[in-house]
């Protein structure tokens, strides 16, 4: 097996990422693999609806028609191998389209498909309960998609069999990178620490430029280079050591802060980051700047995987609609509030007149008036705001009424109403996520290559209970000092937030290890709960990561259902870190004095 590192370029972080990634990485040269991540739960439901209309649809067509068509010749010339979950709910059609294009271009490339994740044919017989809420399985006629999150070993087996391009349906995002590592280094199922390291590398790559300066706390350091931001490259050694970099001459930044933020992004328990092939522990990972735009990651560890796959179904749960308008001038927030209240009052009167049910949920946000930050006092001084109104209803017609009545308020509103006019908003299906576990033994996986299918064995697992884990000791409480200064958390830490279904997480990384005890002391769970009281419905849990002097905060039920099920303006919690970064932290003055 290979005894030198492999270089993997992360060329897509979501369906809709920029097409500049692939040519940029190809121009950088020296890569072994290009990996593409396209899928999210909402993406799967969109693709499932597309397949329902057209049996040949349901995959990321732009991966084939744009990215591969424009770059496949150079990919073949450089002898790179491509791994992509662009197959969505129809990986076979995606692979067929690729093969037809390859033949048209006269190239000699083999395409493999990983199959087994799509469980829609079982929608009438599944009886699972939702793993987080205990809700019963949706009615079969409501379901858009059901997909198991497959792992990396099937991808590795496809590469072992000689595939140049591997297309998957739903797999965990990091699997496209881990599969390349398993193939290149011959890692075995029992090498848990190495599998954890490969998963960490995949987690860094899976969101593209979020590892190279995108969505970064210190955004001002990269603001003038965002138009040419570099896509991430991971160099991975046979022992699991990782170095993160980007193409020379590109914009953005690879630093301890950018990489650590991505490492904690969308993570729940950092000691139990569960994927099909391993349970990862990143709590002791050290993040070290070893050169300009080059960061080294070491210290990931793993344990035996679980014996189940996580499965996610998406299903129709009524309809949703919303729109925005702006108000400016004195008392802008009060004007917006009066407008929104009147819109819902009119719409409800219209529903009653038609003997229709009330809205099952409504949302009225005054953006610029403190509604997202949880700072109501901002409304008193705001002179320009955006009012966002939204609602859920069992019938599409109920939301048509809301939008029509809102439009009819145009001449009745307080002064200062304005907006960018064009196509009127329309109701859309409200798609909910339903997650459950299914034994791996009930999900056969196979790869299809050269018109032949072969079964793939996946690693055995065992039941896992996070309560058995030994947790790191919390930082020693700082001693009281007379001479102190109170700063915002942003002065002491980097932070990034993301979503995990209906929950949100915020990763906080101390800019200096000496700051960590003070941050831990200030960000007590009750203090965080109070700061997020305007959105939080559940509990707050903190996890310590001593390796990189970080804390991961999990906010349970803080997203109004999450994804397109939520009526929130920030349904994915992407701005929650900004709220936390405004919290005060008191530290000794001596701690902030520059070293002589």
H helix runs in 243-302, sequence order: 256-264
Spatial contact of 7 and 26, defined as CB atoms under 8 Å apart: no
Structure tokens at 156: 């590795």
pLDDT for position 596: 55
β-pair type (278-281, 233-236): unpaired
Does an H or E element contain 204, and which? helix 192-205
Q: 529 Cβ partners below 8 Å, 6+ apart?
A: 536, 539, 540
What residues of the chain score a pLDDT lower than 70? Answer: 595-596
70 vs 325: CA distance, rounded Å = 40
154 vs 161: CA distance, rounded Å = 11
455 vs 170: CA distance, rounded Å = 17
434 vs 333: CA distance, rounded Å = 37
pLDDT for position 560: 92
Work out the angle between the directed axes of helices 192-205 and 256-264 (0-180°, nearest 10): 110
Q: 430 Cβ partners below 8 Å, 6+ apart?
A: 316, 317, 318, 319, 320, 392, 564, 565
For domain 471-592, the CATH architecture is 2-Layer Sandwich (3.30)
Q: What does residue 362 show for φ and ψ, rounded to 5 degrees?
A: -130, 160
Structure tokens at 565: 């099920």
In terms of Cα–Cα distance, which of 69, 11, 14 is closest to 38? 14
pLDDT for position 595: 61
* pTM above threshold 0.85: yes
Return the domain boundaries, the chain.
6-124+139-305+449-456, 330-415, 471-592
pLDDT for position 205: 98
Query: For the purposes of burial, counting CB atoms within 10 Å of the CB of 11, is it exposed (0-12), middle (13-18) or buried (19 or more)?
Result: buried
Task: Write out pLDDT tens, residues 95-141.
Answer: 999 999 999 999 999 999 999 999 999 999 999 999 988 999 999 99
8-state DSSP, 71: H
């Amino acid at each position: 097996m290979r005894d030198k590192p492999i270089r993997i370029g992360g060329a897509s972080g979501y369906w809709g990422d920029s097409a500049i990634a692939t040519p940029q990485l190809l121009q950088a040269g020296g890569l072994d693999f290009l990996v593409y991540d396209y899928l999210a739960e909402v993406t799967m439901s969109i693709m499932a609806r597309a397949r329902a209309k057209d049996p040949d649809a349901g995959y990321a067509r732009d991966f084939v028609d744009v990215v591969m068509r424009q770059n496949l010749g150079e990919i073949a010339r450089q002898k790179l191998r491509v791994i992509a979950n662009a197959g969505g709910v129809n990986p076979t059609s995606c692979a067929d389209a690729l093969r037809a294009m390859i033949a048209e271009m006269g190239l000699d490339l083999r395409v493999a498909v990983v199959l087994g994740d799509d469980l829609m044919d079982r929608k009438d017989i599944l009886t699972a309960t939702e793993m987080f809420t205990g809700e019963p399985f949706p009615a079969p006629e409501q379901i858009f998609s059901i997909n198991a999150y497959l792992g990396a070993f099937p991808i590795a087996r496809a590469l072992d069999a000689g595939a140049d391009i591997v297309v998957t349906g739903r797999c965990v995002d990091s699997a496209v990178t881990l599969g390349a590592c398993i193939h290149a280094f011959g890692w075995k199922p029992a090498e848990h620490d190495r599998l954890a390291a490969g998963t960490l590398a995949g987690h860094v790559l899976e969101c593209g430029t979020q590892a190279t300066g995108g969505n970064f706390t210190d955004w001002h350091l990269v603001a003038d280079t965002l138009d040419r931001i570099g896509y991430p490259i991971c160099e991975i050694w046979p022992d699991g050591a990782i170095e993160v970099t980007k193409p020379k001459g590109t914009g953005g930044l690879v630093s301890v802060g950018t990489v650590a933020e991505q490492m904690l992004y969308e993570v729940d328990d950092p000691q139990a980051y569960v994927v099909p092939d391993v349970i990862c522990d990143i709590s002791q990972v050290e993040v070290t700047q070893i050169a300009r735009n080059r960061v080294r990651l070491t210290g990931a560890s793993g344990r035996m995987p679980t014996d189940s796959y996580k499965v996610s179904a998406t299903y129709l749960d009524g309809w949703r609609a919303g729109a925005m308008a702006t108000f400016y001038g004195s008392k802008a927030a009060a004007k917006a509030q009066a407008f929104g209240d009147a819109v819902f009052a009119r719409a409800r009167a219209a529903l009653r007149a038609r003997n229709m049910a009330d809205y099952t949920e409504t949302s009225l946000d005054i953006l610029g008036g403190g509604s997202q930050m949880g700072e109501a006092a901002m409304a008193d001084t705001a002179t320009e705001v955006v009012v966002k109104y939204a609602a859920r209803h069992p019938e599409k017609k109920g939301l048509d009424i809301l939008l029509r009545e809102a439009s009819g308020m145009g001449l009745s509103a307080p002064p200062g109403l304005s907006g960018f006019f064009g196509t009127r908003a329309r109701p859309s299906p409200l798609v909910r996520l339903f997650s459950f576990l299914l034994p791996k033994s009930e999900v056969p996986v196979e790869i299809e290559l050269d018109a032949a299918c072969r079964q793939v064995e996946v690693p055995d697992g065992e039941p896992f209970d996070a309560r058995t884990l030994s947790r790191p000791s919390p930082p020693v409480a700082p001693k009281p000092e007379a001479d102190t200064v109170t700063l915002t958390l942003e002065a002491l830490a980097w932070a990034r937030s993301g979503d995990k279904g209906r929950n949100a997480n915020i990763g906080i990384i101390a800019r200096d290890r000496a700051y960590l005890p003070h941050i831990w002391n200030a960000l007590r769970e009750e203090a965080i709960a109070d700061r997020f009281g305007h959105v939080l419905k559940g509990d707050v849990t903190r996890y310590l990561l001593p390796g990189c002097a970080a804390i991961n905060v999990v906010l349970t039920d803080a997203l109004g259902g999450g994804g397109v099920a939520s009526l929130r303006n920030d349904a994915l919690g992407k701005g929650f870190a900004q709220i936390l970064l405004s919290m005060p932290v008191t530290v000794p003055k001596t701690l902030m004095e520059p070293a002589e």
